[in-house]
Amino acid sequence: MTPTPGTFEILATDPGSGARQGRLWTAHGAVDTPVFMPVGTQGTVKAMSPAELTDLGAQILLGNTYHLALRPGVDIVESCGGLHRFMGWDGPLLTDSGGFQVFSLSPLRKVRPNGVEFVSHHDGSTLFLGPVEAMDYQRRFGSDIAMAFDECPPYPCERDWACKAVDNTLAWAALCADQPRAPGQLRFGIVQGSVYAEMRERCARELVRIGFDGYAVGGVSVGESDAERLEGVRNSASWLPAERPRYLMGVGDRGQILDAVAMGVDMFDCVLPTRLARSGTAFTRAGRYPVKAGAYRADTRPIEEGCGCYACARFSRAYVRHLLNVKEILGVRLLTVHNLHRYLGFMRELRAALAQGRFAEFRRAALQSEGETV
């Protein structure tokens, strides 16, 4: 019998750290963790079709409530049968609530007691998002995991501002928990608190008291140092229940992923592999390099030697560089295919290492290999 949505099985643990291999069941199937979620902010992972993502091994995609509410609008997505059918994706979907845009679009918003008033960055129209609206929109999208609406503060952030953001996040989380949800839809609360350990502890403890299907660490990757980011993750994850999935939002550097996995984090998302593909950067086992550089203009090697992805099996660095430099769309598509293949392959290898009791060895080798390559 298929487990009910929200069931989280821990399949293996690393005795030397908090790392674990798991499986989260959703209304659209199982997600094996640790997992990397390609970002499809506006209902698509840039340059990729759902069939290609499936072939690459993507298990779950991410969409964004703020952006989808602006264009095409919640009514359109709902009338087309929900977000899965609208974008042609049959697997699990997670939707961010729009809380990150409180940070990223700070010049275009005003925080109110009951939510946030945004001025559209497209046409100047007004969009109000609060806990009631964010959860209603995600219910109508039909996503498998709906994120609670939160306030993501900036960095640096004064203590009073961080405290107010935590207060808003907790008040809104309690309202989010009371809203109707789509059938089988899970809800995750989000820990905020900036760089202040005691605020992250308070936020995490209160979210657990409210009760969610999973928990996320938010408010990181907003300009802080690597050391502060690690502390933010540690000061959040350590207070979250081991039996529920933990999600680190917006972090995609592979070294940072390994550090967070060692702290018991299960889920990740980031625009890094797709965004850097559009700028001409390739990820390899040994690090990243700029395919657009002149050094590769006559290089007949694949993007990464030994890689089995479609781009590497068929095309040379010289050809991909040519496409990028003459702004042919295929160049971006091929590099995106490769980068996502590398990221998703990295996560498969990480899960296998955990299953086989080799996490420490895998982590050490992966960190040693990071750097510039040619």
* Residues with catalytic function: 96, 269
The span from the CA of 257 to the CA of 359, in Å, is: 13
DSSP secondary structure letter of residue 108: G
- Please name the residues in contact with 278: beta carbons below 8 A apart, sequence gap of 6 or more: 46, 47, 332, 335, 336
CB 109 within 8 A of CB 153: no
Q: Which class for 208: exposed (0-12), middle (13-18), buried (19 or more C-beta within 10 A)?
A: middle
- Within 13 A of 226's CA, how many CA atoms are on the CB side? 7
DSSP secondary structure letter of residue 288: E
Radius of gyration (Cα) for the chain, nearest Å? 20
Which helix (H) or strand (E) is 54 found in, with range?
Answer: helix 50-56
CB 213 within 8 A of CB 188: yes
DSSP 148-160: PP-----SS--HH
